Each structure stands twice: as C-alpha cells, then as structure tokens.
C-alpha cells in the first residue's frame, strides 16, 4: 500500500473514533471530581444495572454506531431530565463519541422549575426560550456546542428516537407501567426517589440537590466503565 493511501486511512479512522473534548463549566467540573471519589458508595445492586448501561453504550461505540439513550419517567418533569443532561455531560467528559441523550415520559407535563433550579445550582446554565404550560429550556454545560433543548414530552414523542435506543427507566412507576418499551434495544431500570414528595417543605431544596447529585454520580459511574 502506498504511504499516502495508508495515511489517508489512518486520518479517516481517527476522525471517526475521537472527538474534541469540550471545556465544561467549573462548578460542573467540581461536581464531577466529587462523583469520581464516591463511586464506591453506590450499592452493588445499582452498579449491576449501571454496568448494563455501560455495556450497551460500549457495544454501540465499538460497532461505530450512534448511541441514543432515552431516560424515561412518568411525567418527564424531574428525574428523567436530570439523567438526560448528566448523560450528555458524561459523554463529553469521557470523550465517548456519538452519544445523544433524550428524555420522555408516559405522559407530558412540564420540566419542573424546581428541577431547573437544582440543575442551575449544580452548575448548568439554563435559559427558558418559550412560555406556556410546557416551556422549552436550553441547557448548557459548556459554552461550546449546541445546548440541550429540554421540555416535557412522551418518550415516543416527536424528536425522540424510535428504534435502536437504550431505554433507562428512572422511576418505579414508569418501570411498572412500561414493561415493554417499543423500539428499545435494551431496557434498564435505575429508579430514583421522587423529590416531588418534598415540594413545599423545608427539605425541598436539599432533596432536589440530593437527587441531582445521586443521578449524576450513577451516570458518571456508568460512563467511567466504557472503553471507547
């Protein structure tokens, strides 16, 4: 093989197997540094489910395919959004290529303002771009690239993938009500307690912060296992 042809093949291979790392906002980096020190605190039963998530993403990467993940909860208002944005951050941080995270519910409501505030306090920059009962938000974890468009929708709604995706159930109710997610290659249950239970109480802010942290910790654990 001629040297030029070999060089061209190598360059093409490199372009498909690596992506430029983005510069994350400092508060988010601080959270990530905490996550990586707390992986040993995750219970073994949850690690088992998270390893399934890692294996699914890794299989897609090794096959040279795009990875699409839908985080599903009943109302797509709190936990599923938290998981979606942390998954996108984790893919960027660990340089896992061609990963797109989505979220959805068994019904559509709205991205809850308390969840928005909790994510902002974790370091995300969030801007509401529309009004109404189900506004659209733009979520950023870096000044580079496009923002995540976040709003409540059904998991099979417009814009979400219809087949070949990984379905991650983030609440027990959705896990129970959707034993089969049509089009999903894999279905993984990682249910989280609902911070909604503390709305309007003195514990509200602490419980939302706790849930943002737990979900981020577990998503980062899963992505840390991926051999991209």
* Domain definitions of the chain by residue range: 21-224
Sign of CA dihedral 32, 36, 37, 39: positive
131 vs 91: CA distance, rounded Å: 30
At residue 68, φ and ψ (nearest 5 deg) are -120, 125
Q: Name, in order, each residue with C-beta under 8 angstroms of 134's C-beta and a sequence gap of 6 or more.
A: 108, 109, 110, 111, 151, 152
Per-10-residue mean pLDDT of the chain, 228 residues long, equals 37 37 95 98 97 98 97 96 99 97 96 98 98 98 96 95 97 76 95 96 98 99 94
To which residue do tokens 């709604």 refer? 157
pLDDT digits (tens, 9 = 90+) for 74-98: 999 999 999 999 999 999 999 999 9
Instruction: Note the pLDDT of residue 2.
Output: 44
| Cβ neighbour number for residue 5 with a 10 Å cutoff | 9
pLDDT digits (tens, 9 = 90+) for 35-79: 999 999 999 999 999 999 999 999 999 999 999 999 999 999 999
Q: Name, in order, each residue with C-beta under 8 angstroms of 149's C-beta and a sequence gap of 6 or more.
A: 136, 137, 138, 139
Instruction: Note the pLDDT of residue 11.
Output: 31
SS3 content of the chain, % helix, strand, coil (to 5): 45, 15, 35
| Long-range CB contact pairs, 156-165, < 8 A, 24+ | 156/104, 156/182, 156/183, 157/104, 157/108, 159/102, 160/70, 160/102, 160/104, 161/68, 161/70, 161/102, 164/65, 164/68, 165/68, 165/69, 165/70, 165/102
- Parallel, antiparallel or unpaired: strands 125-128 and 137-140: antiparallel
Using CA atoms in the order 86, 116, 210, 206, what is the torsion angle rounded to 10 degrees?
Answer: 160
The β-bridge partners of 166 are: 69, 186
The token duo for 44 is: 């073994």
At residue 19, φ and ψ (nearest 5 deg) are -135, 150
| Cβ neighbour number for residue 171 with a 10 Å cutoff | 24
State which fold the 21-224 domain adopts.
Rossmann fold (3.40.50)
Instruction: Note the pLDDT of residue 43.
Output: 98
110 vs 176: CA distance, rounded Å: 21
Instruction: Note the pLDDT of residue 119.
Output: 99
Instruction: Note the pLDDT of residue 84.
Output: 99
Instruction: Note the pLDDT of residue 173.
Output: 82
Instruction: Note the pLDDT of residue 13.
Output: 32
């Amino acid at each position: 093989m001629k040297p030029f042809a070999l060089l061209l093949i190598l360059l093409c291979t490199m372009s498909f197997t690596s992506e430029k790392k983005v510069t994350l906002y400092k508060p988010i980096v601080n959270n990530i540094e905490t996550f990586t020190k707390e992986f040993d605190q995750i219970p073994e039963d949850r690690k088992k489910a998270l390893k399934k998530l890692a294996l699914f993403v890794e299989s897609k990467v090794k096959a040279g395919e795009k990875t699409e993940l839908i985080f599903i909860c009943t109302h797509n208002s709190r936990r599923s959004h938290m998981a979606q944005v942390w998954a996108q951050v984790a893919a960027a941080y660990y340089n896992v290529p061609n990963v797109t995270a989505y979220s959805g519910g068994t019904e559509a409501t709205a991205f809850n303002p308390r969840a928005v505030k909790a994510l902002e306090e974790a370091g995300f920059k969030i801007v509401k771009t529309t009004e109404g009962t189900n506004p659209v938000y733009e979520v950023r974890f870096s000044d580079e690239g496009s923002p995540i468009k976040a709003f409540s929708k059904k998991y099979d709604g417009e814009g979400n993938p219809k087949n070949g995706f990984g379905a991650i159930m983030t609440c027990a109710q959705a896990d129970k009500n959707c034993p089969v997610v049509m089009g999903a290659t894999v279905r993984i249950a990682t249910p989280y307690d609902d911070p909604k239970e503390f709305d309007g109480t003195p514990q509200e802010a602490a419980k939302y912060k706790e849930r943002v942290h737990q979900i981020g910790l577990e998503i980062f654990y899963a992505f840390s296992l991926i051999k991209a």
